[in-house]
Amino acid sequence: MNNSSEKTETTVEERQLTGRLLTYRDNYEAGLKHADDYAKLFRTLITTTEYDSLLSSARDLFSFKVDSDFVVFPKKFEPSDYYLVFMTRLIELQNMPTKLSLLIQESNGHEQLRHTWKGSDQEFRFHADSDQAKYVEEQTNRQLFVLNLKKRTMSFDTDTINDLYFLNRNEEQSEAFKDQIALFSQFGSILENVYDFKVDFNMFDARNAKTYLFKQSGLNKNILDQLFVASSKHGLVFMNDDKVEGGYLELKNATFKIIEVDSDTHQWAFKVTDDGEKQSLFAILNSYDFIREWYIRNINELKLKMVI
């Protein structure tokens, strides 16, 4: 009788052990299946020629947690790196000439992707920030733009533009900066045209419909007086606008305005118009030294609002 009882107890223990081992097996298989799903998404990101698949794979990978409780991968990319691959691939699919190169490094046990720029010691990375990623110039730790693949938005950063291209302008890298602005702006245009993104190009937008809103309301009229005096010294007349507060300069290739666009809120703005829609605010500020110097002197009051 006792022998039968011991045999029954052993059988129960064996079944319990087998059940636990099967649970482990199931968890291992689920972890490996999850990893295989990741590998398929990653393969799509780096090989697809379909624009929709490129965007969806990058967006899914950004929030994908490849590790599980039972299967952990010691080598993996950071979520923000998938944004970098997306940007690189999109530029590649558009056959855009570029001086950007993709660099893979290891940092704290993770693979890390960077952009380098030919002819410059600059490096760029995306840094994850909640559901978006910031494209950062590593030496200055300045974010050039913020990209959100889920919400389909992109926004250039006013403070970085003012810092890198005006207040701490590096003449030795001016050509590199010019090429970078052109490429990053083209990248934004592709996002608009291919994916219907909303993009705030900030002062890089050359469309006549663009209104470059100031961050602060109101404007000290002394700032207009400064521009009037500076322009007169260069043979130009800053004319009063007949319809609204403010005025304009008729330049060689564009009309440059600084006007109050909303009298109720005292919202002021820049406007730049030209026949070919080739001249942006940034181009005007860098084509006329006296306008750029005037802008830098009053940069806090003339700082642009980020609209996205």
Is the domain spanning 212-297 CATH 3.30.310? The answer is: yes
The residue ranges of every structural domain in the chain are: 1-200, 212-297
Three-state DSSP class for residue 187? helix
149 touches 130 (CB < 8 A): no
Q: What is the pLDDT of residues 223-238, one digit of tens each?
A: 999 999 999 999 999 9
**Range 230-269 burial, b when 16+ CB lie within 10 A, else e:** bbeeeebebeeeeeebbbbbebeebbbbbbbbeeeeebbb
* DSSP per position, 253-292: S-EEEEEEEETTTTEEEEEEE-TTS---HHHHHHH-HHHH
Q: What is the pLDDT of residues 51-85, one digit of tens each?
A: 999 999 999 999 999 888 888 887 889 999 999 99
Q: What is the pLDDT of residues 170-193, one digit of tens each?
A: 777 778 888 999 999 999 999 999
Q: Beta strand pairing status for 198-200 and 153-156?
A: parallel
pTM of the full structure: 0.88
Whole-Å CA distances, 165 to 203, 211, 286: 11, 20, 9
Q: Give the mean model confidence (pLDDT) for residues 11-33.
A: 78
Side-chain-side CA neighbours of 242 within 13 Å: the count stands at: 0
Among the residues of 100-173, which ranges form H helices?
158-162
Whether the per-residue pLDDT at 6 is higher than 60: the answer is no
pLDDT confidence bin for 5, thresholds 50/70/90: very low
